[in-house]
Amino acid sequence: MSSINEKLQQDEEWLNSLQEHLKKSTSLTSNVSNMLESFQQRLQRLDDTISPLHEKSTRLQRKQQNVTKLLKTIDATIQLFGRTAELENAIRDTNPSLDLQEYIENMDALYNAIVFFASHPTYDNQRDNMKLTFESGCTCLEKEIHNLVITNSIMVAPTTIVECLDEEFEILSTRIRSLETLKNIKNISKLFDWLRKNYEMTRCSETFAVVRSDNMLKTLNALGEQHRDANSSLNASAANSRKASAVSTRASSTVFLKQAFKKATGRGTEKFADKRDVVNDGSLDFVILLFASVLALIQIETELTAKISEEVTVQAQLQRLIFSRPLQLVVNSAYTTLEQYDQGVSGLLPLMKFLLRHNSQLLSLSQNAVNNIISFEPLMQLASSKTRSAINELCERLSNDNDKFYPKDGNVHQVTANTMHLLNHMAVFRNVVTETSGPADRVFEQILGALEGNIRSKSLLYQDEFLQAIFQLNNTNYVLTGIQEGPVANVLRARLNDLCASYRQKLSDLLNRYLRSWNRVVAVFSMDLNEDDKITASKTIFATFNREFEATITHQKEYCVSDLKLGHIIRDRIKELVVTPYARLYSRCAQSAFSSNLEKHIRYTPESLEMCIDRIFDASA
């Protein structure tokens, strides 16, 4: 009971304490509320006081800024008015060639003045005057860039451009880059960029392109003059001999400028089938040189335009304007020359090779030319057609050759030699042959077939059937030797073994045919050595042998076998037919001593007989 009372008393005390704290809290809350209300009232009074002042100060600051701007504008206007008069006088009275940098700075300043006054309609009259002066200055700068490009352009000499080409008329880039064709590039580039940026009516691109295009044309025209002069002098010096004229005329393109129009072809001393392949005036070699030269000049101008302007589109525009006329000149010249060309396939192959190698570049340049003035595709079609026709005509000329000339000694005919030289030349250009006329190996077999027919028909011109055989042996062996080695063998590789076997069989047949010329000599060894009258028979046999052998030797003394190996083979076969049986006969009869004067009847020992045979086909003997 007492513990409960104590608990109640404690709770009562706690409740009393709580009531006191509540009273204090209520008092504090009331005081804080009163303070906050008072602070808000003071803030409102402060806002009512400060806001008008702030608005007034803002208006004052804005007015002050406007006044400052106005003062600056007035000051700038005064300065520009004075400066503009000076600039206009300087631009009107000064030549930009005297100090280009200062002239451009004056033009920049005048341009800024025009922009400044453009925002103030009040100064329209002054602005119009300034515009007239600015346009006048731009016109002077247009003339100046024209004069700068003309004065500083350097024509590339023909000898120099040729020295920048290798043996296949390809460009030697290191040499090209070392050439200086335009001086003072820095000033020209600066003026070019300024005009493009500041003068909407500028024609600086066209001006630059015309001058540089003319510079290219000067080089190309100089090449043409050199070529004509070389041809004229060579033709004049060879006027007394048509053959000499042919060789010299052909050489005109190979000697001109660098002794080097024989570059790329390796044809300087070769002869080709038919006169039209021998008599080559070098006109197509000159066309190759023209194309190579214009490509070299294009490379020079491409690198130059990159220095004139950094903008790719501007570079492309300049290149298009510069390249069109020179390339048109070269393509038109090539087309005219090619239309008139009728001197065989030898000159066409190098041209076709060059055009095919650079077809993509030349086609792209022609398609991008100004007004599409370049007809490169028709040129390619004409060159291809001409090459194909020339190869077909070669076969037709061989098959229908009515020329009655033949070497009296049965040696290799010039047509055979020329044709094999031509095949070797064509083998170097096998890709061109394939491109224009189909697979090169088939074309070569067609030509060889026509040549074989030509050799056969030429052999019929001989009255002597054995000289016919010698003629065919010489020519067939020459063809066989030609196809077994060198570039022709590479072209005919697929069927080379079969072709060589066929030619060897023909040689064997022809050799057997020739050996029949010794039948009368060989027949002596089959004569009967009568035992009843051995002395008389021996004398008859040796007399007959001497007569037939010497008659055969005399008859064949003009025969010629030009190939040493073939001559050795033929002589060995003659020795097998004649010397071996003669040695047996000599041994039998010499031992019998059928006559007291053997030297009268036996003119030859086996050794001397062999020596006589060794001198067959020897022109010096």
| 21 or 315, greater pLDDT | 315
- pLDDT tens digits, 569-587: 999 999 999 999 999 888 8
Does residue 513 have a pLDDT over 60? yes
Q: How confident is the model at residue 595 (pLDDT cuts 50, 70, 90)?
A: low
Q: What is the mean pLDDT of residues 224-252?
A: 58
Q: What is the pLDDT at residue 563?
A: 93
Q: Which of 32-41, 108-117, 151-160, 215-224 shows the lowest mean pLDDT across its residues?
A: 108-117
Q: What is the pLDDT at residue 529?
A: 64
Does residue 76 have a pLDDT over 70? no
- 599-608: string of b/e by CB count within 10 Å (b at 16+)? eebbbbebee
Does residue 422 have a pLDDT over 80? yes
Q: How confident is the model at residue 268 (pLDDT cuts 50, 70, 90)?
A: very low
Q: What is the pLDDT at residue 597?
A: 58
Q: How confident is the model at residue 259 (pLDDT cuts 50, 70, 90)?
A: very low
Q: Taken in order 155, 159, 162, 163, is the CA torsion positive or negative?
A: negative
Q: 182 pairs with which residues across the strands?
A: 153
Q: Which of 12-26, 267-281, 535-549 shows the lowest mean pLDDT across its residues?
A: 267-281
**Strand ranges in 44-135 using DSSP code E only, listed in sequence order:** none
Q: What is the mean pLDDT of residues 588-593?
A: 64
Q: What is the pLDDT at residue 239?
A: 52
Q: How confident is the model at residue 366 (pLDDT cuts 50, 70, 90)?
A: very high
Q: Which of 107-111, 277-281, 347-351, 588-592 shows the lowest mean pLDDT across its residues?
A: 277-281
Q: What is the pLDDT at residue 217?
A: 96
d(CA 221, CA 235): 21
* Average pLDDT for the chain: 84
Q: What is the pLDDT at residue 404?
A: 92
Does residue 383 have a pLDDT over 50? yes
Most confident region among 47-61, 126-140, 265-279, 301-315 by mean pLDDT: 301-315
- pLDDT tens digits, 331-346: 999 999 999 998 889 9
- pLDDT tens digits, 24-71: 888 888 888 888 877 777 777 777 777 777 777 777 777 777 756 654
| 324 or 126, greater pLDDT | 324
Does residue 521 have a pLDDT over 70? yes
Give the Cβ contact number of residue 76 at 10 Å.
Answer: 13
- 518-615 matches 158-235+281-358 in CATH topology: no
Does residue 548 have a pLDDT over 80? yes
So where are the chain's domains? 9-152, 158-235+281-358, 401-509, 518-615
Give yes or no for a contact between 450 and 399, defined as CB atoms under 8 angstroms apart.
Answer: yes
Residue with tokens 């033949």: 406
Q: What is the mean pLDDT of residues 310-335?
A: 95
Report the share of the chain in percent with pLDDT over 90.
56
Q: What is the pLDDT at residue 257?
A: 47
Tell me, which fold does domain 518-615 have in CATH?
Monooxygenase (1.20.1280)
Nearest to 483 by CA among 556, 424, 555: 424
Q: 171 pairs with which residues across the strands?
A: 165
Q: What is the pLDDT at residue 235?
A: 63
Q: How confident is the model at residue 406 (pLDDT cuts 50, 70, 90)?
A: very high
Q: What is the pLDDT at residue 205?
A: 94
Does residue 8 have a pLDDT over 90? no
Architecture of domain 158-235+281-358 in this structure = Up-down Bundle (1.20)
| 540 or 387, greater pLDDT | 387
Does residue 590 have a pLDDT over 80? no
| 288 or 24, greater pLDDT | 288
Q: What is the pLDDT at residue 270?
A: 38
Most confident region among 48-57, 416-425, 609-618 by mean pLDDT: 416-425
Give yes or no for a contact between 425 and 276, defined as CB atoms under 8 angstroms apart.
Answer: no
Helical residues (DSSP H) of 341-439, grouped into ranges: 348-357, 359-367, 376-399, 414-428, 430-437
Give yes or no for a contact between 169 and 115, defined as CB atoms under 8 angstroms apart.
Answer: no
- pLDDT tens digits, 554-563: 999 999 999 9
Q: Is 309 left (phi over 0), alpha (psi -120 to 50) or beta?
A: beta
- pLDDT tens digits, 139-158: 889 999 999 999 999 999 99
Instruction: Provide the CA 372 distance to its chain's centre, in angstroms.
Output: 23
